Structure 1
């Protein structure tokens, strides 16, 4: 293995292999079945959400539906990357698909994760604008703007994820020796690593830190500000009942909780795990034997990072619940009255005579949006 830094002694290969086998135990025992279960739920839930959007929404889709459909598509693509990872973690942990597939999997996972973050932010900002500036939103924010912003979000996510192609690499034996991989010979197994080789760790740590700031902290701050303003507008509304306000508050709290408990910890612990790995490599040449090398591992950042790797797909499973949470609004009288309105028309609905009555519909991602957002 390469040295941890310029002029440093290389880490003995047997120490690195012993550490890798020890760390793989959590993934082999717990992570792969969790990923399989989350794959099934995420595909079913997000597939159903996309089906509902395509079959139940009138065209052109209003911005809120455009962003929600993009989020569902991003979740679905992320879910499709889970089976190869589950197969990789299935004991004995070994990557069987080659270097190109390893790099592609890491890139697609990062791309769709960042895409999900950006679309959650877009949904939050669109809902805030719909509540705080309803007349401006209905007259200026059109579906074509939402599609253009969605394309920009996909492009930005791809740009932020592009460095993962350079960091992803394989570690393990070359050629026929890989065929001997098994429980009795774990040293013959191949690992697909997204954190970069030892010599790349400083650059990977800096990249992970930038990603945590741009792809985690900044979108979370925007989401919190938007949802906070939206919540205040709803709570101050005199046209909504206490039950409606409670339902909106729960939806807002659930959206923020899902974001703050999955995406942000994942990006932060990714930085901490890279830093812990860098410190271990710096000490590695001085270890007396494999047992000392294993004892020196910092398991806290590593196990925390592995837990968040299971929480991020769990967030993809809960997003459809947020979509479905607004299904009761599909039968509301105001929505039925508004379905006869042509998309893009700026006619007030009978039940929405005052701006204060608008939040209850602008919070949804169902056909009510088609009638109010234009």
Structure 2
């Protein structure tokens, strides 16, 4: 909730504005429940599959493992949010839990963006520089080093969430602010914009550059038939591009665009209350869909890891056969 905010550090008091947020009681619990029901088993299956793998993990698989770990940590916090919004924005779990839940959301969001960028860059090197050996130096150890660096960057970027996220009282009930307390909106604004630029805009631009180069190479290669192995690599790259684009289109881009607009509106003086309420509704409507990446990310693993896809199909066939046998008894 981001209801009235009373003052701005640079412009003085702002008029009171109460937002109409009844939609959150229905939209957010429904979406979060769906993400929890699908994201928990899907990401657990990815982690278990990699853990039980007898073959060494590729660098892309290492990035996907870390991506699944980030998603699993996030979806484990969703029951608290489902209860909170189902009770009409009532937070009875205390301030520490509030800070942890908000931190988990943003660390998963930006961790997912960075790990998807790593996966895309790895595929870019394989497509655009297939014969080069310089990018293969270090092997799996270099991939784990990159993952450690990504986690360090995510912790550094999202650590201020513990400072800004807080509990408060509105309409005689305890609430958990996502961005900051209303009276600290002007102080949060520089951090919120820096988080968007460093944690989304820069990786997004790097990803677009990689995909443009990959698309040019793939289109050129598609003009003439090649070996079966090359065709499989091309198909794998195309699937990865399609899924990552879907993740950004559904989860990341709408959320960051609406968040940026909302940060501006909630900080500026003289914006009418209905306009502020409209931007708040748009932003908070995209927020639960930002968590959908926890469901879409395992799909990326499924479609880009043939061994996992084959083992999953085998498991499904065994389950179907077992059910058929039980039905004929």
Question: What's the TM-score bracket when you normalise by the shorter of the two chains?
Answer: 0.7 to 0.9
- Look up the match of 1:33: 30
- Stretches of structure 2 lacking an aligned partner (at least 5 in a row): 311-329
The residue matched to 2:215 in structure 1 has which SS?
Answer: helix
Kindly provide the CA deviation profile for residues 7-65 of structure 1, in whole angstroms up to 9, marking residues without a partner as x.
73465xxx55xx24x22x11102111210111110111111111121223513x22111
- Look up the match of 1:121: 117
Distance 1:266 1:331 in 2: 31
Q: How does 1:44-123 map onto structure 2 within 5 Å?
A: 44-56=41-53, 58-59=55-56, 61-123=57-119
Cα offset, 1:164, TM superposition: 1.1
- Stretches of structure 1 lacking an aligned partner (at least 5 in a row): 174-186, 285-292, 333-374
Cα offset, 1:109, TM superposition: 1.6
The residue matched to 1:226 in structure 2 has which SS?
Answer: helix
Q: How does 1:281-296 map onto structure 2 within 5 Å?
A: 282=269, 296=274
Structure 1 residue 309 corresponds to structure 2 residue 306? no
Distance 2:204 2:157 in 1: 17
Match of 1:262 among 236, 251, 261: 251
Q: How does 1:172-211 map onto structure 2 within 5 Å?
A: 172=169, 187-211=171-195
Contact 2:239 2:303 in 1 (8 A): no
Kindly provide the CA deviation profile for residues 168-215 of structure 1, in whole angstroms up to 9, marking residues without a partner as x.
112217xxxxxxxxxxxxx22111112223342122122121111111
Cα offset, 1:103, TM superposition: 1.3
Cα offset, 1:250, TM superposition: 4.0
Number of corresponding residues: 300
The residue matched to 1:190 in structure 2 has which SS?
Answer: strand
Distance 1:162 1:145 in 2: 26
Match of 2:263 among 239, 249, 274: 274
Cα offset, 1:247, TM superposition: 6.0
Structure 1 residue 8 corresponds to structure 2 residue 12? yes
Distance 1:275 1:247 in 2: 40
Question: What TM-score, normalized by structure 1, do the two folds share?
Answer: 0.72
Kindly provide the CA deviation profile for residues 219-244 of structure 1, in whole angstroms up to 9, marking residues without a partner as x.
11111222232333333334257985
Distance 2:279 2:11 in 1: 27
Question: What TM-score, normalized by structure 2, do the two folds share?
Answer: 0.82
- Look up the match of 1:361: none
Q: State which structure, 1 or 2, has the greater radius of gyration over its C-alpha atoms.
A: 1
Cα offset, 1:266, TM superposition: 1.6
Q: Cα 1:9–1:138, aligned 2, differ >3 Å: closer, same or farther? A: closer
